[in-house]
Structure 1
Amino acid sequence: MAPTTIPAHVDDPVNAKILAVSEDRVQGFHREPLRTIAEQSEVELDTVITRIAAMLREGTIRRVRQTLMSTSLAPGALVAWRLPGERIKPAFEFMFREDPFSGHVVTRSTDRDTPGSDYKLWTTLKVPRPYDMEAHCRYLAERTGATAYKLLPAKKLFALGVGHVRRREIEPGDRTDEPGRVLDTEVVDLTEREWRVLTALKREFEPEELRPDPWAPRAQEAGETLEDFCAIAEDLTERNIVGRFSTFLEHYKQHRDGTRVTRYNALFHWRVPEGAEIRAGQEVGRHHCMTHAYWREGGPEFAGVNIMGVSHGTEKDRVLAHKAAIDEHLEAVGIPVEYTNVFWGGRSEIKPSEVSPFAYRDWCLQRGLDPEAMRA
């Protein structure tokens, strides 16, 4: 008898049930995260493990990992880069392949010439203390030929939490009953022992590592007993350093079965009156179509925008309808939209930004940089 092929696409009903939980509903550290997914999705544990492993092997899921609240671990920023046209592609490759501290690497364009539309490469950046983001960006600009860059650190984040599978059913204007939560971006200091646990905790899982007790090998890797490893991870969760256990879908690229989770990736910009930033961010953040929302100061390069957020969709008109609903909502609650824009995502690669100061020092030495010269 021929072996049964395990479905690995998002539209399979069992996979959809699993993903509706595993994308974003397993918040914090769980000693048996796959069992938690099984219980919440009402799918047998063995099936959850088999299906997630199959989707990971097929590329439907791009990674399985325990996320960290990286804003608590290292100063970070969204960075917009201006480059000559012929330098965009090699700069993209360098940021993605050679810089472990750049996470999202995305080309972006606008529908017409607008303030900032000549900044066509966008990255997220984390540079662990005591090292300096400006020094890091100067090095990247020198290596890539960038003629200008704009650091856009988040002053506040607005909590969101709807996975891509559930987001596909959202109607324009759908939002939570309450405004989004406001999250600060203060960085905390960790001990060397805590960094060892975090380093083991955050590493991506290979399909073969998915098991009911996935942390036992990681505890051994960190030089801890399983009980101590879990206790430290739980303490880090209480301190808002550990995020969620998550299966990250490959939502930009075409899957092997020809499907895509989403096609359009839009970075929305709004300028609201000074003093209204937090309230506006909360109102944007309550809309289910948004995957991220931040208070970032765009400065004159981007017409003074101060609220930014990302939304995804399979149809461009649908993405714009979601944005129009947010614009209307802001006006309806008394927050004038003084300026707005959309930067559309093109080519995109995503990887977790490295946040360890030990890794940063090693990277500097590997590239012939003096780590002391890269300090703040």
Structure 2
Amino acid sequence: MGPLSGALAFGLMLMVLTTALIGRLRPWPAQAGARSFAAGLSGGAACPRGIDDRNCEDAEASSAVVPSSAGVQAPAVTCEMAESVAEPDRSEHVVATTSQPDQPGFRPAVADTEAEAPFKSSASAGLGSGFVAVAGKAKVEVLGVPRLSYGGAEICFARAEARELLALLAVSRDGVSAEAIAETLWPGEVGGRRLDSAVREINRAMRQAVGCAAGVRFVLKSGERRLLPAASFDTDFWRFENACKRASIAAEDTVRAAALHEVLALYRGPLLAGCDDLWVLPLRQAAQRQAADAAERLAELMRADDPGRAVDVLRLAVECIDPYSETLWCLLMTVQGELGRLPAVRRSFELLRERLAEIDAVPSPQARQVYERWVR
């Protein structure tokens, strides 16, 4: 072997030793890529979503290592990490729910104990999930954020006056006179012209959605009144009114309870949420009172045989219907106390104080008396 061959052999040996040493000090690119991919699945490049960035290194160090399908090792997501990724935000409500865009002002869940799952919707209380429109009818929702749909597809209007007219007619089963419509929606303006434009827009959009001929009308004229025909529209507010009426005249508890269930299932939120026109406010307050009254009456019916369900209904009421009603809060604390849930009574009273503070009020002596009956 000549001097040149010996130098080449020595250089090759040195490269092999250097490569081996580097391989022991840092992972191969394939291993690093597998870690990045696993982290990306959890919502972040280096740290699972829901874990504080400052604790990222600790989470990574504590992760188990499992073989991947590519034959390299990647960090496994632990149970706690998986929950942090998959668990929805518990501050959001339901029902028809918290705070959700569909339900402005809804409050976080009131947990009776730390171990109990937060209450999220009317469905959780066994009240159903609203209403399903009759086949062949347009679905009009005004309890909560207003929506119009047909066959599952939302119907939109190009003109604001069409939305305003539909909202007014949806809460007026017997229709409204042309003069009253103009005074209510467009006072001081050329109401007749805007009314005609709104009617044409509603008819056009509905014909397009349903696939009807040009001559079909969806806003009917009965004398001087304009109305939405029940043959073409299924409206949650009309069902809500019917259920309230059935609950008030029912002679049997089972019939009354079924009607009250329907009232609460239909109440997704404030009437025409997002609309602050003056004509809406008294109707909104009346619907809220009806829903709160239904929750109180249903809880009283359940109180003897199923107090746990009664608590669920009352929690729904103070979260989603009227957070400032001392009547509902007092009944909730009473049923919680009867069940021996004293920490829940304390928490309910604390929340009552927080809610009333939002409107510069304090619990009444009667509410404090209910609280002190259970917690001394």
TM superposition score normalised by structure 1: 0.25
* Greater share of helix: 2
* Greater share of strand: 1
TM superposition score normalised by structure 2: 0.25
Q: Which has the higher contact order (CA 8 A, sep 6+)?
A: 1
